[in-house]
Amino acid sequence: MVFFPAGHPLTQALTEREYTDPTAVQTAVLEAAATDRDLLVSAQTGSGKTVAYGLAIANTLLGDAPVLEPAAEPLALVVAPTRELALQVHRELSWLYQHAGGRVVSCVGGMDPRAEQRLLARGAHIVVGTPGRLRDHLERGGLKITKLKAVVLDEADEMLDLGFREDLEFILEATPQERRTLLFSATLPKAIVTMAKRYQKDAWRIAVSAGQQGHADIEYRAIRVAPNEVEHAVVNLLRFVESPTALVFCNTRDSVRHLQAILLERGFSAVALSGELGQNERNQALQALRDGRARVCVATDVAARGIDLPNLGLVIHAELPQNAQTLQHRSGRTGRAGRKGISVLLVLLSRRRRAEQLLQTAGVHAVWGGTPSADDIRKLDQERLLQSPFVTEDLSEDDLAMAKALLAERSPEDIAAALVRMYRSHLPAAEDVFDPGPGNGNGSASREPRDFREPREQREPRERGPRKSDLPGQSVWFRLNVGRQKNADPRWLIPMICRQGKITKQEIGAIRIFERDTKFEVDSTVAERFIAAVNQVERADVRIEALGEQPPPESATHESHEGKPAHRPGKSAANRPVVKEHWKGKPGGKTKGKPKRPAGTDRD
């Protein structure tokens, strides 16, 4: 299919950009039924809708003329929710209309309004901006819209979510009545439909389904993580998936700052995007990602909304999004323009059900598994080294001469080891992580497990069997500062204890989980080494302290091996601690019956 006839100025621009096959939404807006009409379009991010509405308004702006008349008052107005998206739209429409003589001006918050007024005074064919800044220019008289022929609302649902309803209504009320109104939105909530009925006339409805367009090039994965290993999981994912650019989402500014600091400390080139940054700082961060000086961007939802980064192959949800729409917007930063991408959700055991609900509501299927292990990453590093240009490229005469000189002085093993050290020197170290297991989730929107870690049925079988405390000799009791209120569970407590204390699970005895803390015993023969290792742990969210050889008081509630608690009279259920004895070989092994959920556990 051809966008426009040969010789059309937009056809020339599209050819230079190697646009040959239109996307579904681009095809839909060019149909005869959509010509010169108001449009109400629902399409996911990454579906090519910026170019779509640029094409849709072409006949309205150009008519039969080969080029646009000299710029004066704007003919089209494009409203976008964020500065980054508005600037991205400005870039897209600039190259699309360059051969038509189009002049595109941007007006966004955070930029110098006086400079924008001077650009508007020189004339523009298309003005792109954010709602607040456009309204400000309208009220001050810097933006003249009496000759406006088309208004485009891009990501209208996001503008309403961000509180721009009043600004949008002001802008639409000020525009000429005979204009075309094109409303593009990823979703169509009631508020969007109401706005469409009020400000559009006989709008042509276009819907591009998520299955057809929105998720076709995105592979979704859900990774089980222990509460104290989210940062380690992010590190290993960034090392495992070799993407030139990666985007990591957090829910708060504080989380963004903390995770960026962790990644910088680990050796990643990382930048941050959050609402507290000025426009100049945001532009510098985005430019660092575009020119390759930074590889990882840690961002909040609002800061990253609408940005389009080249070669973005990996999106990590370090914290679960608030709803399915946010999941789609986050994930839609990758898998764009025909390129493949991966979207990874990091899921705590207590949030498994919530994650499955998000995936099901969004209509996507995720592959469940564990975090890539350090061994997995080391194996990949070896494969990547063998495929590296250092090894595969043809050698020059100077290279061969130096190689012979090195072989005369060193053995081949020494030279190979030096090559490995050089290759690894610029790679952040992988973290030791534990797979907390699949939990109790059973949603239809997921498949369990594959890819990052080998399927459970292929792993070496482990011995199962209950025990309370079969330590051969004396034991020393310790305390953890987490209990039932923070979803303490042996499935992730035992691996964490082993990692921090440098011991094996065979050297751990009974575990007793109370409301606000947890007590456990360690073999006295390794207790001194265990204390020394724990004291070296920095910034541990879960802290361990010694209690001594005397065990804590026996609990009034013991969880039996059949999973049915035996109650003792005289204490209320709310104040009873729960004793959980872990199983030999594998923490969190299944009992014969269905384990009873401890009081206060988050059911998500």
Residue the block writes with tokens 């990874």: 344
User: So what's the architecture of 9-212 in CATH?
Assistant: 3-Layer(aba) Sandwich (3.40)
Pairwise CA distance, residues 202 & 577, whole Å: 65
Candidate ranges 125-129, 398-402, 568-572; pick with highest mean pLDDT? 125-129
- As its CATH architecture, domain 475-580 has 2-Layer Sandwich (3.30)
Q: Is 96 helix (H, G, I), strand (E, B) or coil?
A: helix
The reported pTM is 0.59
What is the domain partition of the chain in residue ranges? Answer: 9-212, 215-372, 377-425, 475-580
Q: Which residues contact 532 (CB under 8 A, 6 or more apart)?
A: none
> Is the domain 215-372 a CATH 1.20.1540.10 member?
no
Instruction: Please determine, for residue 227, whether its predicted confidence score (pLDDT) is greater than 90.
Output: no
Instruction: Return the number of other C-beta atoms located less than 10 Å from residue 489's C-beta.
Output: 26
Buried b (16+ CB within 10 A) or exposed e, 47-71: bbbbbbbbbbbbebbbeeeeebeeb
Classify 554 as helix, strand or coil.
coil
Q: Which two tokens stand for residue 421?
A: 């050290």
Q: In this structure, what token pair is assigned to residue 590? A: 């299944």
In sequence order, the 6+-apart residues with CB closer than 8 A to the CB of 106 are: 86, 87, 90, 116, 127, 128, 129
How far, in whole angstroms, is CA 368 from its chain's centroid? Answer: 16
Q: Does the pLDDT value for residue 586 go beyond 70?
A: no
Per residue in 136-189, pLDDT (tens digit) is 999 999 999 999 999 999 988 888 877 899 999 999 999 999 999 999 987 788
- 186 backbone dihedrals φ, ψ, rounded to 5°: -70, -35
- Omega of the bond leading into 449 within 30 degrees of 0 (cis): yes
Which CA distances in Å does 155 have to 82, 162, 327, 486?
Answer: 10, 11, 15, 38
Per residue in 497-514, pLDDT (tens digit) is 887 887 878 889 899 999
Same fold for the domain at 9-212 and the one at 215-372? yes
| Amino acid, single-letter form, for residue 150 | A
pLDDT digits (tens, 9 = 90+) for 458-487: 333 333 333 355 576 788 999 999 888 888
The pLDDT of residue 356 is above 90 = yes
- Separation in Å, CA 61 to CA 34, 41, 94, 129, 186: 15, 20, 14, 19, 25
| 3-state secondary structure at position 218 | strand
The three-class DSSP label of residue 128 is: strand
Helical (H) or strand (E) element with 329: helix 324-331
